[in-house]
A = this chain, B = another copy of it.
Amino acid sequence: MMSLAELQRRIDHGDLSADEAIARSCEATDEHDKTIGAFVCRVKDAHAASTGPLRGIAVGIKDIIDTSDFPTEMGSAIYRGWRPRADASVVAMLKQAGATILGKTTTTAFASRDPTATLNPRNPAHTPGGSSSGSAAAVAAGMIPLALGTQTGGSVIRPASFCGVAAIKPSFALLPTVGVKCYSWTLDTVGLFAASVEDLAHGLAAMSNRPELRPRAALETPRIGVVTQDFAGAPDAASGEALRIAGGAAERAGASVRAVTLPEIFAQAWRIHPTVMEFEAHQALAWEYRTHHDAMPPLLRAKLDETVGLLPAEYDEARGIVGRARAALACLFDDVDVLLTFSAPGAAPKGLDWTGDPSFNRLWTLMGVPCVNVPAYVAEGRLPVGVQVIARFGDDAGALEAARFVEEALTRG
């Protein structure tokens, strides 16, 4: 994979020009994307900006995120060839920081569950996960050092786990969703994919103009609470192994690691995530559903058909549970700095007809808290399995720092 931090260092030291760095991404993409299919479209003659912390960094943008100079097709025939007027805020922020937008990456239609044709670069017989399929795959295949995705259930952390890359779903609204196709306005969160947690920290700090997110020289030793989310079902052996390995490595590196049991309110919150998500989706996608019902992607259409009777009262009750669970979660973080849990129930499923199960992600999206995927284990078939490090709402710096601690601990073994 391409390291963003390493590219930045070489560009800063004059060992590599920003244009050379972009050219490398173009070449790597030419080489790998023929088989992987991570991009929907991209520029052929990409150039670097002359200034900005992300000059020389080629970025892939999930194709539900508006771009003024590329079509934005939402993974759906309904938007074939659609050209938005403006860049989404996150695209403008990347450009402001000097990044070069290389192109648009594949997304399941409307970031829901209808799969793309993108292959998993670790094992092309398996899905890269979704909905941010192309962004995870493009980084995993070493085409680009940074990509944007979005998560409403598990659409950033799960594909990152399946593809063996680092990713962050930041605190809700840390990155604006202005210009991002909405599925659920209380859940949709823009996230980043990169080769390492350090890269994520550099990328997020630069685009958000938040120097406090940059990697610190000396890592604090975190207090880690391990949660298994029993209400979400049992993970496969591979995910169990990943969590055991990550927890063990962190402990050997000096972290305090202990099991934490989530109170009942979290099981309730986990259960009502679909109520919040689908109630809002019916409003967010009302025009598409009303006027292009037949052209809607079939899995999404079936889900919307099935939930068409959801009442505002059910939604309001679900939102009440969310409020109580968030308050309970804030208390939980009095005793630990971060939580550590599964990124997915197992390695990437075989085939391309299913993007995998977001069961271990949806509670944390609902809580709005920052989650970082760290690759922790490689299962049979060269299939990576990650763990996620979760911090208090707003403590994205803490989530990144603890994730880097776990990442480094895993390197040492």
Contacts and interface: CB of A to CB of B under 8 A. Distances in A.
A49 to B, nearest CB: 12
Interface string A319-352: 0000000000000000000000000000000000
A86 B72 CA distance: 13
B290 A96 contact: yes
B178 A283 contact: yes
A173 interface: yes
A366 to B, nearest CB: 15
A123 interface: no
A182 interface: yes
B176 A210 contact: no
Given A93-B283, A182-B178, A286-B96, A209 B312 contact: yes
Given A178-B185, A182-B178, A89 B291 contact: no
Contact of A89 (B177, B210, B283, B394): B283
Nearest to A88: B287
A284 to B, nearest CB: 5
Contacts of A186: 173
Contact of A85 (B79, B96, B178, B182): B79
A156 to B, nearest CB: 19
Copies of this subunit: 2
A251 interface: no
Interface in A72-124: 79, 82, 85-87, 89, 91-93, 95-96
A312 B397 CA distance: 14
A141 B79 CA distance: 39
A177 B208 CA distance: 23
B178 A291 contact: no
B312 A210 contact: yes
B287 A176 contact: no
B82 A286 contact: no
A95 B312 contact: no
A209 to B, nearest CB: 6
A26 to B, nearest CB: 24
Nearest to A292: B86
A50 interface: no
Contacts of A287: 68, 86-87, 89, 91-92, 179
In the A-B complex, the 8 residue pairs with the smallest Cβ-Cβ separation, listed nearest first, are A92-B286, A86-B287, A87-B287, A178-B182, A89-B283, A92-B287, A178-B284, A176-B283
Interface of A: 68, 79, 82, 85-87, 89, 91-93, 95-96, 173, 176-179, 182, 185-186, 208-210, 280, 283-284, 286-288, 290-291, 311-312, 316, 394
